[in-house]
């Protein structure tokens, strides 16, 4: 069998923290920008992908987002993102989309969801991988916009609008600094009442107290990033005991947020040693020259882990996802079979 890097690329994997807009192929960014009249500072978007901070990254992310002008654009984004992920072992993804900027510009949430569903359905048929959606509130637009977006989403679910059976959750992303997460409680209450699962970006560059507020005040079921949890030992124990998942993105934390100078300095091993359900994800793969297979390989190399450790990471991804137990059981079997094949004949 191939070496560990190739085996990890092929290993069946679940991804729980990937922004569809951040998975847009560079060539697609250029084509959509030209088609929709969005000026880019360069014809090579990879030249844009250098960031000095999370907020610096967000300005580029918003530019990439702005190239999505039509339902067909959203369908293309969704199709390409899942095809690209499946090529590197993603068998199930629960992906974020953040439509606040587009809704403010006059796009219809129903059209966005329907377009995403069309693209994902085509990719699922082609690859056999599956993808559910999480509608994120963009904190840059404030809690009132988040509430309006979530109320519209709940209305679409009640109406059985096309693609809404794929939208499983509601989250929030964008800047953390200076944000009182409790201002988003009305939006999360609407989402909870409508039957959505709940998650939120927190703890990438804000204190552990914000993570605790997300759990205790907002009632979130997952935390995205969650790095500062280690600053609060009691919170670590609570999250470990309750198996509250944290969707960690180590390479993103190096390249985008500049939180650590190198991957070997990342606290991911300490998070797992503490018993946290810390999963492994890409965040914005096309904007960081990444895919999930590469992320697994980089993490294994940085921390000296082999297939047993990486199999455990992959199985935790299955545990943390929002599929039903029968689907999870099938995914666990796929992971274990692939890992056992490598163990029986490593090179």
Rounded to the nearest 10 degrees, the angle between the axes of helix 233-242 and helix 208-216 is 40
Coil, helix or strand at residue 169 = strand
* Distance separating alpha carbons of residues 340 and 107, to the nearest angstrom: 48
- Phi, psi torsion values for 95, nearest 5 degrees: -105, 145
Residue whose entry in the numeric block shows the structure tokens 């807009």 = 21
The Cα-based distances of 221 to 101, 188, 200, 218, 274 in angstroms read 26, 11, 9, 9, 19
Q: How many CB atoms lie within 10 A of CB 35?
A: 13
Rounded to the nearest 10 degrees, the angle between the axes of helix 109-127 and helix 71-86 is 30
Active-site entry in 94, 204, 295, 311: 204
249, 255 in Cβ contact below 8 A?
no
Which residue, among 138, 46, 137, 127, has the nearest Cα to 93 in the 3D structure?
127
| β-pair type (222-225, 245-248) | parallel
Length of the chain: 347
199, 224 in Cβ contact below 8 A?
yes
Known catalytic residue at 204: yes
Q: How many CB atoms lie within 10 A of CB 177?
A: 11
**b/e map 128-140, b = 16+ CB within 10 Å:** ebbbbbbbbbbbb
Q: DSSP letter at 275?
A: T
Coil, helix or strand at residue 89 = coil
* Distance separating alpha carbons of residues 83 and 126, to the nearest angstrom: 8
171, 194 in Cβ contact below 8 A?
no
Q: Which residues are catalytic?
A: 204
């Amino acid at each position: 069998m191939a070496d560990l890097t190739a085996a990890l690329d092929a290993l069946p994997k679940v991804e729980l923290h990937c922004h569809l807009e951040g998975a847009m192929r560079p060539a697609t960014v250029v084509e959509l920008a030209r088609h929709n009249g969005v000026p880019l500072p360069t014809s090579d978007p990879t030249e844009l992908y250098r960031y000095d901070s999370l907020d610096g990254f967000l300005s580029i992310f918003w530019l990439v987002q702005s190239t999505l002008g039509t339902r067909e654009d959203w369908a293309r984004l969704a199709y390409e993102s899942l095809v690209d992920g499946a090529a590197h072992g993603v068998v199930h993804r629960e992906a974020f989309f953040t439509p606040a900027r587009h809704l403010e510009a006059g796009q219809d949430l129903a059209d966005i969801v329907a377009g995403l569903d069309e693209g994902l359905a085509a990719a699922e048929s082609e690859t056999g991988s599956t993808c559910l959606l999480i509608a994120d509130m963009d904190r840059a637009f404030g809690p009132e916009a988040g509430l309006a977006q979530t109320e519209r989403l709940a209305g679409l679910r009640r109406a059985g609008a096309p693609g809404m059976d794929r939208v499983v959750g509601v989250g929030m992303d964008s800047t953390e600094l200076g944000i009182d997460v409790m201002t988003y409680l009305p939006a999360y209450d609407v989402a909870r009442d409508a039957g959505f699962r709940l998650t939120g970006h927190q703890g990438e560059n804000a204190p552990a107290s914000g993570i605790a507020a997300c759990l205790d005040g907002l009632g979130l079921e997952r935390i995205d990033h969650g790095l500062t949890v280690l600053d609060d030992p009691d919170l670590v124990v609570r999250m470990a005991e309750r198996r509250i998942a944290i969707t960690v993105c180590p390479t993103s934390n190096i390249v985008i947020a500049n939180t650590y100078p190198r991957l070997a300095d990342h606290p991911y091993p300490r998070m797992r040693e503490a018993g946290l359900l810390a999963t492994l994800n890409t965040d914005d793969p096309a904007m960081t020259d990444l895919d999930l297979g590469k992320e697994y390989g980089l993490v294994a190399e940085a921390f000296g882990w082999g297939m047993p450790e990486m199999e455990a990471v992959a199985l935790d991804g299955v545990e943390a996802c929002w599929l039903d137990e029968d689907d999870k059981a099938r995914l666990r079997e796929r992971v274990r079979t692939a890992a056992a094949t490598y163990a029986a004949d490593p090179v």
